[in-house]
Structure 1
Amino acid sequence: MGDSMVRRDAAVYDSVRGTLEAARKKAAVAVNDAMVEAYWEVGRQIVEAQGDRAEYGKHLMKYLSERLTKEFGKGFTKRNLFCMKQFYLAFPIVHTLCAQLSWSHYRLLIRVEDEKKRLFYMREAVDQRWTVRQLDCEIHSFYYERLLATREERRESVRQEVKVLEPPTKADGLLKDPYVLDFLDMGGRTDYREDDLEQALMNRLQEFLLELGRGFAFVARQQRIAAETESYYVDLVFYHCILKCYVLIDLKTGKITPQDVGQMDFYVRLYDDRCTQPDDNPTIGIILCATKDATVARYSALADDKGLFAARYTLCLPTEEELARALEPTSALFLE
Structure 2
Amino acid sequence: RSFYEIECTQQQWSKRQLSRQVGSCLYERLALSRNKDEVMRLAKEGQTIGKPSDIIKNPITLEFLGLKPDAVYSESKLENAIISKMQQFLLELGKGFLFEARQKRFTFDEQHFFVDLVFYNRLLQCYVLIDLKIEKLTHQDLGQMQMYVNYYDRYVKQDFEKPTIGILLCREKNDALVELTLPKDANIYASAYQLYLPNKALLQAKVKEWIEEFEENEELRKLEENE
CA deviations over 1:51-80 (Å, ceiling 9, x no partner): xxxxxxxxxxxxxxxxxxxxxxxxxxxxxx
2-structure distance, mates of 1:294, 1:322: 20
Q: Structure 2 CA distance, aligned partners of 1:170 and 1:126?
A: 22
Query: Normalising by the residue count of structure 2, what TM-score does the alignment of the two structures yield?
Result: 0.81
Q: Report the AA paired with residue 216 of structure 1.
A: F
Residue 10 of structure 2 corresponds to residue 127 of structure 1 = yes
- Alignment partner, residue 252 of structure 1: 133
Matched, 1:139 2:16: no
Match of 2:198 in 1: 318
**One-letter amino acid of the structure 2 residue matched with residue 151 of structure 1:** R
Instruction: Work out which of the residue numbers 181, 188, 205 in structure 2 matches 1:308.
Output: 188
Higher alpha-carbon Rg? 1
Post-superposition Cα deviations, 1:113-141, rounded to whole Å, max 9, x if no partner, equal xxxxx121111112222111111110111
The 8 Å contact of residues 225 and 274 in structure 1, kept in 2 or not, is answered as no
Higher relative contact order (CA 8 A, sep 6+): 2
SS at 1:183 equivalent: helix
The answer for the alignment partner of 1:213 in structure 2 is: 94
Percent identical among aligned pairs is 42
CA shift, 1:294, in A, is 3.2
Alignment of 1:159-198 (within 5 A): 170-187=51-68, 189-198=70-79
Amino acid aligned to 1:314: Q
| Amino acid of the structure 2 residue aligned with 1:231 | H
Deviation by residue 1:246-271 (Cα, 9 ceiling, x = unmatched): 00000001111100110000100011
More helix by share: 1
Q: Any unmatched runs of 5+ in structure 2?
A: 39-48, 211-227
Cα distance in 2 for partners of 1:142, 1:320 equals 6
Q: Which amino acid aligns with 2:188?
A: L
Change (3 A) 1:326 1:225: farther
Residue 56 of structure 1 corresponds to none
Q: Which amino acid aligns with 2:139?
A: P
What CA distance in whole angstroms lies between the structure 2 residues aligned with 1:266 and 1:188? 30
AA matched with 1:304? K
Higher strand share: 2
Residue in 1 aligned with 2:178? 297
1:202 to 79, 83, 100: 83
Partners of 2:163 and 2:16 in 1: CA distance: 34
Unmatched 5+ stretches in structure 1: 1-117, 156-167, 330-336
TM-score where L is the length of structure 1: 0.56
Letter in 2 for 1:237: V
Structure 1 position 238, deviation (Å): 0.3
Q: CA deviation at 1:149?
A: 0.4
CA contact (8 A) 1:225 1:271 kept: no
Q: 1:169 to 1:134 in 2, by over 3 A?
A: closer
Closer/same/farther in 2, CA of residues 305 and 192 from structure 1, 3 Å limit: farther
Q: Distance in 2 between matches of 1:143 and 1:326?
A: 14
* Shift in Å, 1:145: 0.2
Residue number in structure 1 paired with 2:223: none
Q: Please tell me whether residue 225 in structure 1 is matched to residue 106 in structure 2.
A: yes
Q: CA deviation at 1:177?
A: 0.4
